Structure 1
Amino acid sequence: MSRFKHLLIAPVALLALASVNAQEADSLPDETAQPVTEEVVRTPTWISNHTFGELGDPKDSLLLGIHNSQQIEFTLRRDRIASDASLMLDYTPSPALLPNLSHLRVYLNDVLMGTVVIDEEQLGTRTRRQVALAPYLLSDFNRVRLEFIGHYTDICEDPGNSALWLNVAHGSQISLREHAVALRNDLAFFPLPFFDSRDHGKTQVHMVFHDQPTLGEQKAAGVLASYFGSLAGWRGTEFPVLFDRLPSTGVNRDQVHSSVVFAANDRRPSFLADLERFPAVEAPVVELIDHPEHSYSKVLVIWGRDEQDLLDGARALALGGNLFRGSRVVVNEVQTLQPRKPYDAPNWTPTDRPVRFAELIDYPTQLHTSGLQPRPITVDINLPPDLFVWRNQGIPLQTKYRYTPPATKDESRLSISLNDQFITGLSLSRGTHNRLERMRLAVTAVETANAQDRLLVPSLKLGARNTLRYDFSFASTYGSAQRDFCQTSLPVDTRALIDEDSSIDLSGYYHYMAMPDLWAFAHSGFPFSRMADLSETLVIVPSAPNAVQLSTLLEILASVGAQTGYPAMAFEISDDWSAARQTNADLLVLGSLAPDLHDRSDLNLVLERSSDWIMHASSPLREKVDRIDHTAFPADSRVDVTARAPIAAIAGMQSPFHNQRSVVAFMANDDADFSLLRETLGDSGKLDAVRGSVAVIRESGVQSQLVGPQYFVGYLPWWLKLWYLLSNHPVWLAVMAVLCMLLAAFLLWQALRWVSERRLHQQD
C-alpha cells in the first residue's frame, strides 16, 4: 500500500505543477498559494547538475570488499520541486572481477533504484552509466547510496582481497529538473526565499534604494547584508545594488530574483510611490510583497519614517526574524539587552573556559563511526587568529571514547592527529589492561570498552581553523581463506565513538598578534571580528558611492559575518575622515585613503587615475623613512608603469590615530577595479592568496607582499613580551642571560657576605 501511494504522488505533483498558474489560490498547497494574475506567468524551470565533488567528495572514492558503500547527500530548496532526477555514474571496476556476478546497487533515500551490472567489457575500463532516480522520493534532504558487490572467484573468497575494488570518480553527478514554487507572502518562512540552507549555491539578494543612499541607509543595508552572510557561511553572497528599479525577470520571465527595498516616507523608489496602496508609515515596518511583474520573485520592503527606522527594521530582521509572521510586521522596539564581549563570535570556539565536544559538532552522529574500516571522526576548532600560544606547555585535551572490543589481543589502536599532523596513538585492547578496566563505564556493560586519556595538544600546530581527527583502526582476521582450507565468517559490527563530554581547554591564553596580516582578515575577518557585532569598527566610504562600490561594501561586511556567524549590528559608518581621528576603532576603508595618509611609510601602493605605482619600496620618501624606521622590510626596486587594465589592492596598516587599531583599505578607482575586489571576495582560491600587508589584484590573480613596519595588537605581560621579542635575537638573549647571571651572582655574594658578617658580629 505504501508503494502504491508513492506511485500516485508523481503524477499528482506534475499535474499541480502544470496548472499552478491557472488554478485559484485555495486549490494549491499552503506554501504555494498565490493570487491569480491576469497574465499567465510561466513556471521557471532549471536543469541543475551537482557533481560528487561539489557535494562533499572532492576526490575519487574507492569501494572495497570490506568497505563497499558510499553515500552522497544533496538537498532541494523548499521553494522548488523536481519532476525528473538521474544519476550519472563515472566508475572504473577492477580488471580481476568476475563479470555479471559483480554489480553496483543504487539507492535513493534507502529505496532501491536499480542495479548496474559489471560486464566483461567494463573490467579495468572507465565507464559511464546513467541511473534514473524516482522524483517522488525527493525531499529537502536526500541520500544516494552506492553498494559494491564484487567477486573475484566463485569459492573461498577473501573479502579483504586487494583485487576487490571499484573506483567512483568525483565527477559523477546528480541531475535534477527543478521547478519554482510560488510561496505565499508570509514572513513566518523568513529567511526564505532570500536564503535557504538547503541551497549549496551562492546567495544573491538585490539591494534597492531610491537613489544615492544616505549613510543611514547604507548602514541598514550593511546590517542586513552581514546577516545574510552569517547565514550563508561558506556558500558566499552577492548583493547587486539598484537605484529606483527592481531587477528584470527576463524576456520570458523565467528568472527568479529576491530583492530588499529600503523605503523611507520621503525617499521611496518610484514603483512604491502610490500612497493609496503604500501609505506612509508611523513606525518601522517590514513587508513581503510580490515582484510587480513576476509572482515567483519576492520583494522585502523595509519601510520607515527616516533612516533610523530603516536601521531598526533591518536590525529587527537580523535579531528577531523568527518572531515574524504574516505579510506585514510592525517593529515596536529593537533593544540590545546585553553587549557583546570580545572573541565571543558564535563560529569561534570559546577561549575562556573548557569546551565540550557537544558544543562543536554540526550534527548528532558526527562523533560516531562503524565498519571494519571506519571513517575518521573529525571535530572542527575555529580560533581567533591572535590567540597567543607561543612556547607553552600544550593545550589540555580530554578524550573519552568507546568502541567494540576486539576478540583477541591485536594491534587495534586509536590515532589522534591535529591538522593532519600525528599527535599520538592509543592501543585498543579487549580490556585486560588495568587502566581500561578502572575507567570502564557501568552503562556500557560488557559490549564496549572505555578509555579516558588526557593529552597535551602541541599548540604550535594550531591555526585559525583546525581539525582534530580520530582514526579507529581495527585489526581483523575476517575471511581467512587458503588453498586447501576454506573458512568463512560473518564480519563483526564494529562501532566506535568519541564521547560528547570530551573537552578541550583553551582558557588562560593571551591575545597578541603581529600586524598587518591580511590573511587574518581574509579567513577570520580580523581585526574587525574581535567584536562579533563590529561594535569597534568604523567604515569609511566615499561621499557619493555608486552601485558597484556599494555592492563591494555589502559583500565585505557579509564576508565578515560569514566568519563570525553573527550580523554586524553595531558598526559605525562615515564619509568624513575626521570621524576616524575622534573614534577609537579599527578602520575599514573603501575606495581611497585620506590625502594626508598617502605619504605614510607603511603605504606601499597608491592607485591614481592615470598611473599605477607598484613599489617594493615603502614610499617615495625612502631616504627619510630609512633614517626613522630601521624595522621596516627593505626594498630593492621601484616600478612605475602606465596601463588601462583593471587593478585593485587590499592594504593593511597601523591606524595613524590609535596604536592598537588597524586599517584595512580596499583601494580601487573605477567599476572594473571594484569588480576585481568583489571577485576576489567570492573566490576561496584567490582569497587564500591574500596575505601580508598588501595584496595587489589583477586579472591574472593575487600577489601579496609584506612590506613596511610591523606592529603588535593585544596584551602580553612585560616579561613574556620581552622574552618573545628577544627570541629572534639570540645574541641579545645571550647577553641578557649573562647579565642576569652576573646580577644573581652579585646578589648572592652580597647575601652571603651579610650572613658572614652577622655571624662574626654575634661571636664577638
Structure 2
Amino acid sequence: MSRSFTFRLASLLLLAMGCAHAQTPTLPGAVTPRAAVPAPVAAPVAAPVPPSWGVEHSFERLGRTADSLLLGTRTTDQFEFTLRRDRIASQAGLQLEYTPSPALLPTLSHLRIYLNDVLMSVVPIEKEQLGKKTVRQVALDPRLVSDFNRVRLEFVGHYTDICEEPSNSALWVNISRTSQVTLTEQALAIKNDLAYFPVPFFDARGYGIPTLNMVFAGQPTLGEQRAAGVLASYFGSQAAWRGTQFPVLLDQLPAATAERPAGASIVFATNGHRPAFLSDLTKYPAVEAPVVQMIDHPQDRYSKVLLVMGRDEADLLTAVQALALGGDLLRGERVVIDKVQQLQPRQPYDAPNWMRTDRPVRFAELIKYPEQLRVSGLQPQPINVEMNLPPDLFVWRNQGIPLQTRYRYTPPPFNDGSRLNISLNNEFISSVPLQVHSNDQLEELRMAVLSSESANVNEKLSVPALKVGDRNILQFKFSFTTTGGSAQRDRCQTSLPIDAQAVIDDQSSIDMSGYHHYMAMPDLSAFARSGFPYSRMADLSDTVVVLPAQPNALQLSTYLEALAGISARSGLPAMKLQISDNWEQAAKQDADLLVLGTFAPDMRTNNDLSLLLDRSRDWLLQSSEKGRYSESNPPSTRVEVSAQGPIAAIVGLQSPFHAQRSIVALLATEDADFQLLREVLSDSGKLNAVAGSVALIRSSGVYSQIVGERYYVGSLPWWLLLWYTLSEHPVWLAVMAVFGVLLTSLVVMRALQWAARRRLAYGQ
C-alpha cells in the first residue's frame, strides 16, 4: 500500500511541474523557438517552345510549270504537297490567285476548295472580279494536314441561267501557278528509333535542300573520309534533284540557338579517335563491333545525332554500308552490325536512274507512283514518262528505236475526232485517232535518237529524238471530243459530259538494246548531267578520288557534295569508293580519277592540260574555234594573269596512264574558291553551263570552252569503227571507194579471163 501511495505522489508532482512550466512567461531577450516552416514549392518549369517555321509552296514548286485553266468540261484540278514526319502543321492556308472569265454570272459561279477531300471553303466569283486577277486568302484546317496532302479545286461556272452548254468557251477560270499553300510547321520531338531511317536525317517529304553536319574527331583519317563519302553518296542518291549540303565540323557538334536549331548531325568515331564530347566511356563505352546509334543533341531535343562507331576504320566502312543497304532491318536506338556482304558485283550501266540498254524496258519500270499512267476527264492532264539514257550510247545513223504503246480508253459515242497525241520533250511525234471500238490498242513507233554534242558533230535531225545523257520526257495526251448539248430557238437540249477514262498500259515498252558504248571525250556536260564517266559503274568501283593530304573543313564539304551529286544522278551509293591522298599510288590504278584541289607537280607539264590555277598566278589556253566540237581544237592563244579574287575551275582530260580512263579535276586553292565550286555543284542552272573541256567559275558565272585533242572511250566493232572514222574524212572515203572499185574490177576481170581460158581449153 505504501508503494502505491508513493507512486501516486510522484505522478502528481510531475504533473504539477509540467503545468508550471507551461505557464512560465517569456523573459525579455529570451529566444523563442520557431515553428517548422514548410519548404517552398518550386515553381513549375515552362516547357521549351518547339521551333517553328513559316513555309510557302507555290503551285509552280509543286510541279505546275504553267497556269491551270479550269473549263466547263474540265472543272477539277488538284495539287499535292507533303509534310515531314518530324513536323506538324500548326497553321495552314491557301493564297489563291485566279482570273475568272468576264462572261461568268457572278455569285452563281464559284470555286469549291477541298483539303484531303474535306470541303474547306466556297469562294464566290463577284462582279468586280470578272476578267481581273484576284488574290483570295483561304484558311485550311491544320488538323487535316498529314504527311501527304491534296488540295482540290472545283469550278462551278455559269454564263446564262437557261440552256447552258458545258463546252462553251465562256466557261473558264485561270488559276495562277504563283498561288501558294502556306504552312506554319512546328518541330516534333520524336523518339530515337532507327526503324524510320533515313528519317529524320533525310525525309523525302521535305522540299528544302537537306543539310547534314558531318562531325569528325580533329583531322579525319583517310578511312574516316572514305566512310563519310559512302554515307554522303547514300544521302545524295536519296535526295536526287534536291541536292545535299554537308557542312564539316571538327571535334564539336553544331551549336543550337533559340532562333536556329542545331539540325541533324552524323558523328564518325573509332575507339582510338573520338570527338571530345564522346570521351565519357561510361556513357559511350568502347565498342566491340560496328555500331550505329541515334541520340538527342545535347542542347536541342528536336535535333538528332547519328553516331557511327567502330573499333577501327574498317568498322566505320561496314557501318555506313549497312546504313546504305540494310535500312529495312534497322530498329531501336542502337544497332550492332554483324556482317555486310555483297553477293553479286555491279555491272556497267546498271545505274537505277538510267534506263536499261540491254533489253526492252516496260513502262512499269519507269513510273514513279501507281496512278501515273491513268487519267480521267474530257481534257485530262498529259501522262509523262521520264527516261534517262547513258551519255556514251553510240547512236550514229541509227534507224530509230521501237516504241510499243498499249492503251485503253472510254470509247466515244461515235468517231468524233478524239485523239491521242504523242510527243517527246515537248515536240510532236504522232497522233492516233480514238475509235468507237476500244479494245486494247497497240501503237508501234520508231523514235529517233539524238547523240550528245560530242558524239557526232554533223548529225542533224528534223524530228524529235531521244537525247543521250539527258532527261527525256515522253508525253501522252488524250483529247476527247464530244457533243455536250445543243441550243436552238424554242428548243434546248443538254447532256452531262461523260466521265472519260484513259490508261497507258504499264506493259508498253521501249527497246534501246543493241547499241554500243562509244563516246568522244573530254565532255564536262556528261559529268555535270550524268556523273559520267564515274557513274558507268554506279557503285564507283572504277573511281579513285584524289584528295589533298590534310584537307580542311571546306575541302571536305566539297568532296562530300561532289560524291553526293554523282550518286544523285546514278541513283546508287558509292559502295566501292576508293580515295587516296597520294598521286603516284592513285595514278597506277586502272580507274577514272576525280581530283580535288590542285594538280600534282608532274601533271602540270602534261600536254593535255589547258588550265592551271596556282594561287594568284594562272594561265589558260584558248582555241580559235570557240564553242565548236571538232576532231581537234588546238590552242591558239595562251593567257597568263596575276590577280586576286576567287576563281575555280572544272577541267577534263585523258589520263596519261591509261588510254581508256579520264580525269576530272575540281580545281581551287583558297576557301573562297572552294565555296564557288560548292555553289556550282548545288545549282542545276550553273551545272547546265558546264561543258567542253574547261569550265571556269567566277562570281560572274560559268564560262566553258573546248580546247585540245579529243579521245574516245568505249569500243566499237572494227567495221563500224572504220565506217565511222571514214565518215569524217570524205576524201579518204572517196579514195577508198575508187580503190575498192578498181580492186573489184581487177578481181572480176581475172575471174572472167580464167573462165574464158578454161572454156577454150575444154573446146580444144
Classify the secondary structure of the residue corresponding to 2:585.
helix
- 2:587 matched residue in structure 1: 581
Contact 1:686–1:701 (CA under 8 A) maintained in structure 2 = yes
Counterparts of 1:283-302 in structure 2 under 5 Å? 283-302=289-308
Question: Is 1:456 aligned to 2:462, yes or no?
Answer: no
SS of equivalent to 2:757? helix
Matches of 2:708 and 2:280, distance apart in 1: 57
Tell me how far 1:599 sits from its aligned partner. Answer: 2.6
Q: 1:377 is matched by which residue type in structure 2?
A: I
Q: Report the alpha carbon displacement of residue 288 of structure 1 after superposing the two structures with TM.
A: 0.8
| Equivalent residue, structure 1, for 2:35 | none
Tell me how far apart the structure 2 counterparts of residues 459 and 631 of structure 1 sit (CA, whole Å). Answer: 22
Q: Is the 8 A contact 2:229 2:563 kept in 1?
A: yes
> SS state of the match for residue 709, structure 2?
coil
Match of 2:283 among 277, 282, 286: 277
Report Cα offsets for 1:562-600 as digits up to 9, x if no partner. Answer: 111110010211011112331000000000111122232
Distance 2:757 2:496 in 1: 87
Paired residues of 2:254 and 2:262 also in contact (CA < 8 A)? no
CA distance in structure 2 between the partners assigned to 1:176 and 1:687 by the alignment: 31
SS for the counterpart of 1:481 is: strand
**Structure 2 match to 1:162:** 169
Q: Distance in 1 between matches of 2:359 and 2:78?
A: 37
1:523 aligns to 2:534 (yes or no): no
Contact 1:345 1:532 in 2 (8 A): yes
State the shift of 1:533 in Å. 0.3
- Kept in 2, the 8 Å contact 1:241–1:547? The answer is yes
Partners of 1:304 and 1:39 in 2: CA distance = 39
What does 1:712-731 align with in structure 2 at a 5 Å threshold? Answer: 712-731=712-731
Find the partner of 2:320 among 304, 314, 331: 314
CA contact (8 A) 1:648 1:673 kept: yes
Q: Report 1:3-42 matches (<5 A).
A: 40-42=47-49
- C-alpha displacement at 1:632, in angstroms? 3.3
Residue equivalent to 1:423: 429
- What letter corresponds to residue 553 of structure 1 in structure 2? Y
With over 3 angstroms needed to count, the CA separation of the structure-2 counterparts of 1:574 and 1:750, relative to structure 1, is same
The answer on 1:393 being equivalent to 2:399 is yes
Provide the residue aligned with 2:40 in structure 1: none
**1:153 and 2:157 correspond:** no
Deviations 1:704-760 (A, max 9, x none): 111111111001011111222222333332232222222222222222332222222
Q: Give the deviation of 1:640 after TM superposition.
A: 3.2
Change (3 A) 1:314 1:481: same
Q: Residue 42 of structure 1 contacts residue 254 of structure 1 at CA under 8 Å; is this kept in 2?
A: no
**SS of the residue aligned with 1:458?**
strand
Alignment of 1:605-644 (within 5 A): 605-616=611-622, 632-644=632-644
Q: For residues 458-485 of structure 1, what are the alpha-carbon distances to aligned partners after superposition, in whole Å with 9 as ceiling and x for unaligned? A: 1232222211111222222223334554
Q: TM-score, normalised by structure 1?
A: 0.89
Question: In the alignment, is the contact (CA less than 8 A) between 1:43 and 1:254 conserved in 2?
Answer: no
Cα distance in 1, alignment partners of residues 120 and 708 from structure 2 = 62
The answer to whether the Cα contact below 8 Å between 2:621 and 2:636 also exists between their aligned partners in 1 is no
Q: Aligned equivalents of 1:54 and 1:389: distance in 2?
A: 35
> Is 2:399 aligned against 1:409?
no
Larger Cα Rg: Structure 1 or Structure 2?
2
5+ residue gaps, structure 1: 1-36, 432-447, 619-629
Q: How does 1:127-526 map to 2 (within 5 A)?
A: 127-250=134-257, 252=258, 254-431=260-437, 448-460=438-450, 461-463=465-467, 464=469, 465-483=471-489, 485-526=491-532
Q: 1:7 matched to which residue of 2?
A: none
**Contact 1:45/1:254 (CA < 8 Å) preserved in 2?**
no
Which runs of no fewer than 5 residues in structure 2 stay unpaired? Answer: 1-43, 451-464, 625-629
Q: TM-score, length-normalised on structure 2?
A: 0.89
What is the CA distance between 1:61 and its match in structure 2? 1.5
Secondary structure, aligned partner of 2:748:
helix
TM-superposition CA deviations, 1:267-323 (whole Å, max 9, x none): 100000111111111111111111111111111011111111111111111111221
CA RMSD after TM alignment: 1.7
Q: Is the 8 A contact 1:604 1:617 kept in 2?
A: no
* 2:760 pairs with 1:760: yes
| 2:466 aligned partner, one-letter code | L
1:48 corresponds to: 55
Greater shift, 58-67 or 237-246, is seen at 58-67
Q: Secondary structure at the match of 2:234?
A: helix
Query: Is structure 2 residue 573 aligned with structure 1 residue 567?
Result: yes
Question: What amino acid is aligned across from residue 737 of structure 1 in structure 2?
Answer: A
Q: Is the 8 A contact 1:611 1:641 kept in 2?
A: yes
Q: Deviation per CA, 1:661-713, whole angstroms, max 9, x where unpaired? A: 00010000111111111111111111111111111111111111111111110
**In 1: Cα distance, 2:631 partner to 2:253 partner:** 53
Structure 1 segment 72-91 matched on structure 2, within 5 A? 72-91=79-98
Distance 2:492 2:737 in 1: 72
Distance in 1 between the 2:247 and 2:106 partners?
55
Secondary structure of the structure 2 residue equivalent to 1:480 = strand
- Equivalent pair of 1:602/1:707 in contact (CA under 8 Å): no
Residue 133 of structure 2 is aligned to residue 126 of structure 1 = yes
Q: Given that residues 156 and 487 in structure 1 are in contact (C-alpha distance below 8 angstroms), is that contact kept between their aligned partners in structure 2?
A: yes
For residue 555 of structure 1, give the secondary structure of its aligned residue in structure 2.
helix
| Alignment match, 1:19 | none
How many Å separate the matches in 2 of 1:239 and 1:581? 28
1:537 aligns with 2:543: yes
1:705 aligns with 2:724: no
- Structure 2 Cα separation of the partners of residues 305 and 372 of structure 1: 64
Matched-pair contact (CA < 8 Å) for 2:623–2:706? no
Partner of 1:366, secondary structure, is helix
Of 582, 588, 603, the match for 2:609: 603
* CA gap 1:574/1:39 in 2 versus in 1, 3 angstroms: farther
Rounded Cα–Cα distance in structure 2 between residues aligned with 1:567 and 1:306:
22
Question: Deviations for 1:202-260, whole angstroms, at most 9, x for unmatched residues?
Answer: 1111100001111111000000000000111011100000000001112x264141000
C-alpha change, 1:723 and 1:421, in structure 2 (3 Å) is farther
Letter in 1 for 2:502: A
| Aligned positions, number | 700
Name the SS for the 2:639 alignment partner: strand
SS of residue matched to 2:256: coil
Note the alpha carbon deviations across 1:492-532, whole angstroms, 9 max, x for none.
11111111111111111101111111111111111000001
- On the 8 A contact 2:98/2:133 being kept in 1, the answer is yes
Distance of aligned partners of 1:477 and 1:747 in 2 relative to their CA distance in 1, 3 Å threshold:
farther
- CA–CA distance in 2 between the matches of 1:459 and 1:153? 51
Give the match's secondary structure for 1:678: helix
Aligned AA (1:653): L
The letter of the residue matching 1:268 is R
SS in 1 for 2:302: strand
Q: Deviations over 1:10-53 (max 9, x none)?
A: xxxxxxxxxxxxxxxxxxxxxxxxxxx99943311111111111
SS of residue paired to 1:237: coil
CA distance in 2: counterparts of 1:38 and 1:750, whole angstroms: 110
Give the Cα–Cα distance (whole angstroms) in 1 for the partners of residues 747 and 402 of structure 2: 38
